[in-house]
Homo-oligomer: A and B are copies of this chain.
């Protein structure tokens, strides 16, 4: 039984179903599901953060996309929104760009999937991403990719369901029953299950508290803007990373996404706000004035599952039988999620771990 069908739960379901498990997925369909709002940048190598446990999974997550996408295509799944369009890393001054380039180079030594990184002049950068400001040099990472988290999660669920999994909409809770976790539907009735996997994102603490667990994941609100450039072929446009917490990326349907706010302490406040819009538009048009006349299609709001440490939480809860948790993917969950779901499935099925998981234990490293 999987509680939560974001990118992580969907991946766990997909991998469990492939391993032959009988899977039931339950999701409350909350509009703030992070996976519905996530931008979809898959490009770990430029990041300034440097927690090694976190970076390990981040990088492995990006690499795993190669395998996963091929597998899904093999299952007849075509609408994934995934493409290795490359990434443009920008910086306001050349010195900073040099530093960043150094870091990237060190990091991609053992990441051939990142491709051959090189410097681009402002003109070249603008040719790749036409709305850019005129004078912006860039670093180009050919292996950078983008993915539509909605499509990818839906696709993994579909394949799981085709292999016998079931999906239900409900908000479920948990209780302790004789030392085991037990899941209850919103009608109060127990839902039988041998193993319970909680991939409930920013909401997980709510139900884990019912088992007496203090789970250190809180919602970090993000507002992200979707623009449309009528008639413009954007499908090959690279991801743009100005290294300042904002970014831009494009999808096949002439869509450009500009993200995102990072609002701590907002709770589950599911509202598009005046300042949120202003902040993102200012950042986006500042770097890419060519987007000024784009259509504003929508602003999405999602709650990133933000842990107290940067590294995700993945593994069995030792003191409670039949309970596994995956969470805390934060701002990089679309990258990490598919691989992390693969790991979770392994944990539950008792397969040997591809990555040492002790450091990601729900009880702390």
| Inter-subunit contact A252/B205 (CB<8 Å) | no
Of residues A171, A273, A282, which shows the largest number of chain B Cβ atoms within 10 Å of its Cβ? A171
Are A186 and B295 touching (Cβ within 8 A)?
no
Among B159, B175, B281, which residue has its beta carbon within 8 angstroms of that of A274? Answer: B281
Contact of A282 among B173, B278, B299 (CB under 8 A): B278
Q: A127-154 vs B: 1/0 string, CB under 8 Å?
A: 0000000000000000000000001001
Contact of A296 among B254, B267, B299 (CB under 8 A): B299
Chain A 264-284 interface 0/1 with B at a Cβ cutoff of 8 Å (1 = within): 010111111111111001101
A362 to chain B, nearest CB (A): 16
**Which residues of A approach B to under 8 Å, CB–CB?**
28-29, 31, 76, 78-79, 151, 154, 157-159, 161-162, 167-171, 173, 175, 185-188, 202-203, 205-206, 209-210, 214, 216, 218-219, 225, 227, 230-233, 235-236, 252-254, 265, 267-278, 281-282, 284-285, 291-296, 299
Please provide the 5 A-B residue pairs with the shortest distance between their CB atoms, ordered closest to farther: A170-B267, A275-B292, A169-B269, A167-B231, A278-B281
Between-chain CB contacts (< 8 Å), 15 pairs: A28-B268, A29-B271, A76-B235, A151-B253, A154-B253, A159-B233, A161-B233, A167-B231, A185-B267, A186-B205, A188-B214, A271-B295, A274-B281, A277-B281, A278-B278
